[in-house]
Amino acid sequence: MKPGWEKWLWGGLGWAMLGPIGGILGFALGAVRDQTKFEDQGRVEEAYPRTRPGDFGVSLLVLFAAVMRADEKLLKSELDFVKDFFERNFGAKYARERMILFKDILAQDYPLRDVCHQIRRNMDHPSRLELIHLLFGLARADGSITPSEIDAIRKICGYLGVSPADFESIKAMFVKDTTSAYKVLEVDPNADEETVKRAYRRMANKYHPDKVNHLGEDFLVVAEDKFKAINTAYQQIRQERGF
């Protein structure tokens, strides 16, 4: 088979078997195999494994890439965020494998909407909220979040079926202003005391870490950060209003 053909074969099989995410993996795996054959005839190494449908780590890579390209800058701090996240949560070997794949994803223009739709079909709502929280963490890796990055995350939210209210709530955890605490709780600043209390109970339930136990303990830290942000917002409002 001529160099270059194998990656398309792998990509076609992956797309058929696992949807857009499978196609990305298949194409990238084929490209690695092509390169390895070219550099060392007769020696083929798979630099990273195939994945399962709805693989959380691969989904993150696709969305990470979309946010990193939003401001037309690929910063070392952002790459370090991605690498550190995978190393901290999955170990060095998994991180190396995913970073090889990430280089290919960053270099290609993949159909973001199709990938997000596959993620939406394979992930429940609490898991998708985890994704958005992590995307804001990536955007802030260099110390600030640009309007273009916010717009990219807003677009991803639309594709993932994450509501504007959920988007604004998570955004307020990272982008602060005088009404951030109310935005975190998804409540109007003029709401009465009882409404604020109900909003707090509702949001505490929505973002409780137990909601994402099925993702594994690796993501509990992120879930707990959001849960703490809900409590911090509520305590701030209580202190300001004196109730």
**Quick one: three-class SS letters along 172-208?**
HHHCCCCCHHHHHCCCCCCCCHHHHHHHHHHHHHHCC
Distance CA 77, CA 138 (A): 9
Q: Which pLDDT does position 158 carry in this prediction?
A: 96
Distance CA 198, CA 36 (A): 59
Tokens of 193: 């005391």
Running along the chain, 243 residues long, what does each successive block of 10 average in pLDDT?
41 49 57 45 41 55 90 87 82 81 80 83 80 90 92 96 92 86 87 89 80 59 76 88 79
Q: Are 167 and 154 in contact (CB under 8 A)?
A: yes
Distance CA 18, CA 36 (A): 24
Contacts 24+ apart (CB under 8 A), 14-19: 14/50, 18/51, 18/52, 18/53, 19/53, 19/114, 19/118
Residues with Cβ < 8 Å from 214, sequence gap 6 or more? 127
**CB-based burial of residue 114 (10 Å sphere; 0-12 exposed, 13-18 middle, 19+ buried)?**
middle
Q: Are 156 and 135 in contact (CB under 8 A)?
A: yes
Residues with Cβ < 8 Å from 161, sequence gap 6 or more? 120, 125, 128
Q: How many CA atoms lie within 13 A of 122 on its CB side?
A: 21
Distance CA 119, CA 41 (A): 37
Question: Domain boundaries in the chain?
Answer: 1-51, 54-241
Q: Which pLDDT does position 181 carry in this prediction?
A: 86
Distance of CA 40 to the CA centre of its chain: 36
Q: Are 145 and 67 in contact (CB under 8 A)?
A: no
